[in-house]
């Protein structure tokens, strides 16, 4: 099938690459010429494991094209995926300007039946707005009601985890497709069935429903996952107070099949491009409809405060004034296996440390380039803080002479470090772990002063850290 993908961000690029991988002829459009140049030169504008390899295969086979030519993109695809960004507006609602502009471009130049697929995460009712925009453009062209220019709007939300997006697309848990129940909808349903047939060979994972329910499903799924994270973080904070071990609690409740183990890890809060903006957008939708979504408001508030927990542990041990202190920070991206810095907890942690006078040596396996760009914006206007933030090329480099190690992202390479070497490099054997990577008792035996999230503190043998002296 001939497929057009509008937008080459995470969703668009993964969708286009995976559809090309199974034999479709895919045209990827982006209005950013820099992105298209990178892709046409064999590079990648994002970090996503496995993506570059499958794009290279499809390019070699002539199954994928990258271009800024809007008219060519509309002419190419019988199915047009809209996969552009929907950033949060000032009031927290989803900004649909890029979605509607994509729809407008389709209406301006389409000359045959099109299936227009909303792949972007959009609020309930967006398909109706997309339809209205396309009909408006067709009316301007004097083509309203033309049999040749009919179209169907489909809602096909993505359920891709950054860092595992390729595998999620190729081996989906479910494929949600929302379609109107009319003649054009039936035609669209058949095209979507053909398109997703390669991903349904073992058993049919496709869930067909009405368009509004499909739009709502995506928001509800992300809101539920965000709720689980904030719930466990609240439990972890209480565990700190009452002396319980949140890891033991996680095993205790996760073993209940009604609960399960997924998204029950305590930490420094969620980030990324999905959970924060989707929770905000759903809250906003509720407000517009006269429904106060109190649980989600609490989820958002808990997550905001959780990003401060690690800094509070640091200041409790070392004092509010961190002038003259140096901190090694491991992990900058909001999660492992991505370079995405959107809403990353590291941004809040590092900003707080710098504001208190500290120097920060930061390391991330893949996100350093993006982190430099983001922090240049975050710290604009505060050159003194900018001067105290340094990025290193290895995790060992961050340790030399640091007063403490701060772990913010749970990259695999951080899970089994050489603790003897670490102690030798650090000025004091002091770790603040925002991801609970290590066992407190084991750290105490090694003489490391270890502070984690929701786990009992074990006093280290022969510790000489400042936190013992305060």
Q: Does the structure show a pLDDT above 60 at 265? A: yes
Whole-angstrom distance, CA of residue 21 vs CA of residue 362: 37
What is d(CA 191, CA 119) in angstroms, rounded to the nearest whole number?
A: 15
Cα distance between residue 232 and residue 239, in whole Å: 10
Could you read off the pLDDT of 106-158 as tens digits, one per residue?
Answer: 999 999 999 999 999 999 999 999 999 999 999 999 998 888 899 999 999 99
What's the length of the chain?
470
Label residue 92 exposed, middle or buried (CB < 10 Å: 0-12, 13-18, 19+): middle
pLDDT value at residue 464: 47
Bin 262: left if φ > 0, else alpha if -120 < ψ < 50, else beta: beta
Categorise residue 343: left if φ over 0, alpha if ψ from -120 to 50, beta otherwise: left
Residue 207's contacts (CB-CB under 8 Å, 6 or more residues apart) are: 174, 175, 176, 177
Instruction: Measure the CA angle with vertex 271, ends 413 and 290; round to 5°.
Output: 160
Domain 2-209 annotated CATH 3.40.718.10 = no
Q: Which two tokens stand for residue 36?
A: 């298209």
- Quote the pLDDT of residue 202: 81
Give the position of tokens 């929907």: 86
**pLDDT for 46 beyond 60:** yes
Domain with CATH 1.10.1040.10 in the chain: 219-305
DSSP state of 394: S
Task: Quickly count: other Cβ atoms within 10 Å of residue 419's Cβ.
Answer: 16
Contact status, residue 145 vs residue 170, Cβ threshold 8 Å: no
- 3-class secondary structure, 29: strand
Q: In this structure, how many other beta carbons lie within 10 angstroms of the beta carbon of residue 186?
A: 12
Residue 232 class from Cβ within 10 Å (0-12 exposed, 13-18 middle, 19+ buried)?
A: buried
pLDDT at 92 > cutoff 90: no
Distance from C-alpha of 334 to C-alpha of 400, rounded to nearest angstrom? 25
Q: What are the binding residues for substrate?
A: 159-162, 218, 263-267, 271, 335
Distance between CA atoms of 154 and 444, rounded to whole angstroms? Answer: 56
Transcribe 414-464 into DSSP letters. GSS--HHHHHHHSSS-EEEETT--S-HHHHHHTT-EEE-SSS---PPTT--
Q: Work out the pLDDT band at 469, boundaries 50, 70, 90.
A: very low
pLDDT of 461 above 90: no
pLDDT at 465 over 70: no
Q: What is the CATH number of domain 307-469?
A: 3.40.50.720
Could you tell me which residues are annotated as the binding site for NAD(+)?
Answer: 30, 35, 86, 121, 162, 277, 342
Question: CA 291 to CA 63: how far, in whole Å?
Answer: 47
Whether the predicted pLDDT of 65 surpasses 50: yes
Contact assessment for residue 270 and residue 226, using Cβ atoms and an 8 Å cutoff: yes
pLDDT digits (tens, 9 = 90+) for 375-416: 999 999 999 999 999 999 999 999 999 999 999 999 999 999
pLDDT digits (tens, 9 = 90+) for 300-349: 999 999 999 999 999 999 999 999 999 999 999 999 999 999 999 999 99
User: What residues form the annotated binding site?
Assistant: 30, 35, 86, 121, 159-162, 218, 263-267, 271, 277, 335, 342
Cα-based distances in Å from 303 to 15, 159, 227: 30, 21, 9
Whether 389 and 358 have beta carbons less than 8 Å apart is answered as: no
Q: Show the tokens assigned to 89.
A: 């507006």
Q: Give alpha helix (H) positions in 319-408.
A: 345-355, 368-378, 383-387, 395-399
CATH number for 219-305 (one of 3.40.50.970, 3.40.50.2300, 1.10.1040.10, 3.40.50.510): it is 1.10.1040.10
Rounded to whole angstroms, the Cα distance separating 112 from 146 reads 10
> Residue 160 contacts by C-beta under 8 Å, 6 or more apart in sequence?
10, 11, 14, 168, 169
Closest by CA position to 107, among listed 79, 148, 137, 139:
137
Cα 351 from Cα 375, distance rounded (Å): 9
Across 190-197, average pLDDT: 96
Q: For residue range 206-234, list pLDDT tens digits in order.
A: 999 999 999 999 999 999 999 999 999 99
Active-site residue set: 274
Question: Residue 326 has what pLDDT?
Answer: 98
Domain with CATH 3.40.50.720 in the chain: 2-209, 307-469
Phi, psi of 193 (to 5 degrees): -60, -45
**Structure token pair of residue 43:** 């590079």
* Residue 70 in tokens: 């809007």
Confidence of residue 240 (pLDDT cuts 50, 70, 90): very high
Q: pLDDT over 70 for what percent of the chain? A: 98
Alpha helices in 163-308 (DSSP H): 165-170, 183-196, 211-242, 246-254, 275-288, 294-306
């Amino acid at each position: 099938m001939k497929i057009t993908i509008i937008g080459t961000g995470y969703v668009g690029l993964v969708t286009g690459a995976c559809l090309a991988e199974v034999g479709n002829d895919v045209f990827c459009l982006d209005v950013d010429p820099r992105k298209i140049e990178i892709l046409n030169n064999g590079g990648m504008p994002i970090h996503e494991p496995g993506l570059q390899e499958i794009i290279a295969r499809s390019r070699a086979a002539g199954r994928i094209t990258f271009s800024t030519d809007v008219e060519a993109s509309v002419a190419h695809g019988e199915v047009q995926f809209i996969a552009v960004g929907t950033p949060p507006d000032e009031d927290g609602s989803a900004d649909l300007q890029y979605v509607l502009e994509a729809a407008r471009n389709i209406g301006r130049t389409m000359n045959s039946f099109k299936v227009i697929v909303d792949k972007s995460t959009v609020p309930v009712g967006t398909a109706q707005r997309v339809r209205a925009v396309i009909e408006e453009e067709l009316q301007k062209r004097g083509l309203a009601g033309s049999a040749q220019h009919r179209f169907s709007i489909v809602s096909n939300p993505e359920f891709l985890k950054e860092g595992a997006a390729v595998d999620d697309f190729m081996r989906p848990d479910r494929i949600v497709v929302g379609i109107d129940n009319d003649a054009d909808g039936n035609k669209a349903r058949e095209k979507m069935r053909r398109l997703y047939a390669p991903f349904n060979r073992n058993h049919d994972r496709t869930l067909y429903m009405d368009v509004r329910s499909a739009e709502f499903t995506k928001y509800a799924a992300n809101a539920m996952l965000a709720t689980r994270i904030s719930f466990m973080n609240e439990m972890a904070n209480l565990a700190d107070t009452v002396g319980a071990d949140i890891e033991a609690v996680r095993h205790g409740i996760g073993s209940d099949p009604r609960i399960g183990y997924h998204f029950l890890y305590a930490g420094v809060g969620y980030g990324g491009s999905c959970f924060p903006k989707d929770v905000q957008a759903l809250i906003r939708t509720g407000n517009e409809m006269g429904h106060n979504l109190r649980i989600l408001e609490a989820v958002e508030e808990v997550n905001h405060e959780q990003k401060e927990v690690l800094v509070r542990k640091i200041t409790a041990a070392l004092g509010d004034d961190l002038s003259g202190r140096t901190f090694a920070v491991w992990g900058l991206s909001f999660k492992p296996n991505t370079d995405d810095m959107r809403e990353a907890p590291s941004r809040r942690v590092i900003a707080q440390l710098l504001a208190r006078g500290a120097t920060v040596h930061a390391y991330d396996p893949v996100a350093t380039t993006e982190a430099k760009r983001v922090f240049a914006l975050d710290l604009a206007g505060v050159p003194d803080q900018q001067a105290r933030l340094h990025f290193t090329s290895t995790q060992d480099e961050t340790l030399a002479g640091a007063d403490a190690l701060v772990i913010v992202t749970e990259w695999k390479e951080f899970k089994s470090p050489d603790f003897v070497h670490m102690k030798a490099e650090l000025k004091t054997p002091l770790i603040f772990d925002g991801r609970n990577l290590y066992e407190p008792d084991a750290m105490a035996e090694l003489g490391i002063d270890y502070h984690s999230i929701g786990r009992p503190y074990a006093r280290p043998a022969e510790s000489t850290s400042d936190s013992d002296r305060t």
